[in-house]
Amino acid sequence: MFKKLITCLVSILIVMFTFVPIQVQAQQKDFHNHYYKMTKVLQESTCTEQGYAIFTCQHCGKTVERKINYAEHNFTEWEEYKKEEKRSFQVRECKVCGEQETRVVVKSNRYIGGNIVICIIALVIVALIIKFYYKD
The CA R_g of the chain, rounded to the nearest whole Å, is: 38
Which of 10-19, 58-67, 77-86, 99-108 has the lowest average pLDDT? 10-19
Residue 1 has a pLDDT of: 64
- Burial of residue 40 (number of CB atoms within 10 Å: 0-12, 13-18, 19+): exposed
- Cα 76 from Cα 73, distance rounded (Å): 10
Is 92 within 8 Å of 77 (Cβ atoms)?
Answer: yes
Is 50 within 8 Å of 68 (Cβ atoms)?
Answer: yes
- Cα 6 from Cα 13, distance rounded (Å): 11
pLDDT at 28 over 60: no
Sign of the four-CA dihedral 16, 17, 18, 21: positive
- Stated pTM of the model: 0.44
